[in-house]
Amino acid sequence: MRRTTAWMFMFVCVAVAGCSKPESGHGSTTTTAPGAIAFPDSWPYPSADTGVTAAHGMVATDAPIATHVGATVLRNGGNAVDAAIATAFALAVVLPAAGNLGGGGFLVVHMGDGREAALDFRERAPGTATRDMYIGANGHADDRSITGPLAAGVPGSVAGLWEAHERFGSRPWAELVAPAIALAEQGFVVDSDFAGAIRGDSARLAHFPASAALFLPHGRVPLAGDRWRDPELAAVLRRISASGQKGFYTGRTAELIAAEMRRVHGIMTEKDLAAYQAKWRDPIEFTYRGHKVISMPPPSSGGLTLALVAHELARFDVRAAPWHSPREINRFAEAMRRGFAVRNGLLGDPDFVTIPTARLLSQQYADSLSKSIAEGHATPSASIHVGGGATAEKQQTTHFSVMDGQGGAAALTTTLNGGFGSAVVVPGTGLLLNDEMDDFAAEPGRPNMFGLVQGEANAIAPGKRMLSSMTPTIVLGDDGKPMLVTGAQGGPTIITTTYQIMSNVIDYDMNIGTAVSAPRLHHQHLPDSLYYERGGLTKATLDSLTAMGYATSPQSPTGDLGYAASILRRNGVVHGASDPRVHGSAEGY
């Protein structure tokens, strides 16, 4: 079932005539020269946020309890991968909307001894999945890819964490699973984020008896201050602790998942579970302004699209344009537009689709895209064709960053896809199944509910991994050691957020707190809108962008453009920042 992707038929046709004089940085009284960044007065987060500092190592996540678990592993002598494993298991308990055992993700590592690797533990379509399985009676895809048993891909998280430990772990496996078992068994105090997340998805969760019993005890959303326990999840974790990968994909847990699938007419089987393997992939590597960048290859689109955007912008002297001036935004928006056109049309699971990675990573290819950028003008997306396609992924992912004291780093992004995934808790397990099947193109070549057309490269097939945007990324410093560990939550905005953190640090000398707090932008080719966070651009800047031809679309500054827990090592000091858009934390030693 290998298919050749039609990159050779790619053509870029640009309707905008010629290049006009570059815009000046006028129109904003709050953007400033590199090194002295000021945010608009309307922006809710501080520009002087320096983050948390430490001498040796750091963990930054979206959930303080999980951060503390990871930082404790570092303090006890564990390496970055050990800390990442313990943190990921803890997130499965304390952040059930996104942390998971029933989902999947990606890990990028740079070990203290210089070894680098990228691990794919993305979910796979079950063995009897079909290309048109979500097409309903009216001939169009319905929401069975979002809620309910058919939405779930075969989970990859436990296999990924096991595989990471087999290759890079230095502490005993059981020691890394133990904090999650204790959290699930003994419980923890619910905060307003935890309660709010359940409230937001309570109607979906109420639909499934085991989900309602777990998340809506006594028929109500837990209150901040309540104690939360998940003893059945603790039992699943105990089997994982005792038997590793096999403790999840075979035996009691696999039987319970398969039995529930049979009962509710899902299609995932014990055979699908037993066959699941995480895969080591060659990391995407490229250079950005002299720094080596290591990121995630397909089936995540993250690393390749990040490289495309970065390479497109290489032709410009980014620092010469003040941060968030209309001129800088114009260039960035056009690079995103073109990068996503390629991403949406050509990328998919590399085990099923031939992806011309070397060509896409070449400067020559990026130049062929960026030469049509007409400064001072928005290029209509309709005039850029790269095999067709667009993206409409869910946003409820979680990313965390780890740096150890031995020169090692781990960037891990994991998800159930939408908040609480498919909303299906498997009875007897306390674990949620993902709704990752929705990241496939359910109707290739036809507009989905958002009016978007997704590409054939990402069509459903048995055993295939769905395309992702997760972008766990490590940037090396001049000494060849990890300088920046970053990545994000937020569907397709993950990629553009990751670029902005990288550029904020490297191009504009921001500290990590400022880089993460800074207002963000996003363009994904289709819809043809430049997303910005409300309050993040001045009226004068917005007017300039409108004059260039941009349709600007305000988004909530509390997370519509994602969260990006990140770590920066600068001048021998480690700085960590969780994202102020969520109540996470950074903790070092």
Reading the block at residue 369, the tokens are 């895209």
For ligand GLY, give the closer residue by CB, 32 or 300. Answer: 300
Closest approach of ligand GLY to the CB of residue 484, in Å = 21
Taking contact as CB under 6 A, which single stretch among the options 219-227, 257-265, 317-325, 462-470 is the one that binds ligand GLY?
462-470
Where is 271: in which H helix or E strand?
Answer: helix 270-275
Closest approach of ligand GLY to the CB of residue 423, in Å = 15
Closest approach of ligand GLY to the CB of residue 396, in Å = 8
Sign of the alpha-carbon dihedral angle for 89, 91, 94, 99:
negative
Closest approach of ligand GLY to the CB of residue 305, in Å = 11
For ligand GLY, give the closer residue by CB, 86 or 347. Answer: 347
- CA-closest candidate to residue 329, choices 548, 60, 149, 570: 548
Q: Is 439 in the site for ligand GLY (CB under 6 A)?
A: yes
What's the CA gap between 216 and 212, in Å, rounded? 5
Closest approach of ligand GLY to the CB of residue 10, in Å = 23
User: How many residues touch ligand GLY (CB under 6 A)?
Assistant: 10
Q: Is 407 in the site for ligand GLY (CB under 6 A)?
A: no
Closest approach of ligand GLY to the CB of residue 39, in Å = 28
The residues, ordered by sequence, that sit 6+ positions from 238 with a Cβ below 8 Å of its Cβ are 181
Q: Is 415 in the site for ligand GLY (CB under 6 A)?
A: yes
Longest dimension (CA), the chain: 67
Q: Please, are residues 265 and 281 in contact by the beta-carbon 8 Å criterion?
A: no
Strand partners, 107: 119, 412
Looking at 370, 417, 500, 566, which residue binds ligand GLY (CB under 6 A)? 417
Q: Is 491 in the site for ligand GLY (CB under 6 A)?
A: yes
Q: Is 393 in the site for ligand GLY (CB under 6 A)?
A: yes
Closest approach of ligand GLY to the CB of residue 467, in Å = 8
**Residue 397: active-site member:** yes
Q: Is 469 in the site for ligand GLY (CB under 6 A)?
A: yes
Site string for ligand GLY, 217-246 (x = CB under 6 A): ------------------------------
Three-point CA angle 253, 259, 265, nearest 5°: 135
Q: Is 61 in the site for ligand GLY (CB under 6 A)?
A: no
| Residue among 147, 397, 497, 541 flagged as catalytic | 397
Taking contact as CB under 6 A, which single stretch among the options 84-92, 276-284, 392-400, 549-557 is the one that binds ligand GLY?
392-400
Reading the block at residue 121, the tokens are 């533990």
For ligand GLY, give the closer residue by CB, 393 or 443. Answer: 393
Cα dist from 64 to 90, 117, 264, whole Å: 10, 27, 36
Q: What is the strand order of the sheet 291-295 is part of?
A: 52-54, 573-577, 566-570, 482-486, 473-476, 291-295, 284-288
Residue 554: exposure state from Cβ atoms within 10 A (0-12, 13-18, ≥19)? middle
Looking at 325, 397, 406, 566, which residue binds ligand GLY (CB under 6 A)? 397
- CA-closest candidate to residue 108, choices 472, 489, 497: 472
Q: Please, are residues 460 and 442 in contact by the beta-carbon 8 Å criterion?
A: yes
Q: Is 528 in the site for ligand GLY (CB under 6 A)?
A: no
Taking contact as CB under 6 A, which single stretch among the options 331-339, 348-356, 463-471, 479-487 is the one that binds ligand GLY?
463-471
Q: Is 102 in the site for ligand GLY (CB under 6 A)?
A: no
Reading the block at residue 420, the tokens are 């609480």
Strand partners, 566: 577
Q: Is 468 in the site for ligand GLY (CB under 6 A)?
A: yes
Taking contact as CB under 6 A, which single stretch among the options 370-378, 421-429, 464-472, 501-509 is the one that binds ligand GLY?
464-472
For ligand GLY, give the closer residue by CB, 334 or 393. Answer: 393
For ligand GLY, give the closer residue by CB, 98 or 333. Answer: 98
For ligand GLY, give the closer residue by CB, 151 or 378. Answer: 151
- CA-closest candidate to residue 348, choices 452, 497, 186, 456: 456
The residues, ordered by sequence, that sit 6+ positions from 542 with a Cβ below 8 Å of its Cβ are 532, 552
Q: Is 394 in the site for ligand GLY (CB under 6 A)?
A: yes
Report the residue number whose CB is nearest to ligand GLY.
468
Q: Please, are residues 175 and 77 in contact by the beta-carbon 8 Å criterion?
A: no
Looking at 125, 318, 470, 510, which residue binds ligand GLY (CB under 6 A)? 470
Neighbours of 428 (CB within 10 A): 17
What's the CA gap between 232 and 432, in Å, rounded? 12
- CA-closest candidate to residue 344, choices 381, 293, 296: 381
What's the CA gap between 340 and 363, in Å, rounded? 17
Taking contact as CB under 6 A, which single stretch among the options 28-36, 42-50, 390-398, 455-463 is the one that binds ligand GLY?
390-398
Query: Applying CB under 6 A, which residues contact ligand GLY?
Result: 393-394, 397, 415, 417, 439, 468-470, 491
Q: Residues with catalytic annotation?
A: 397
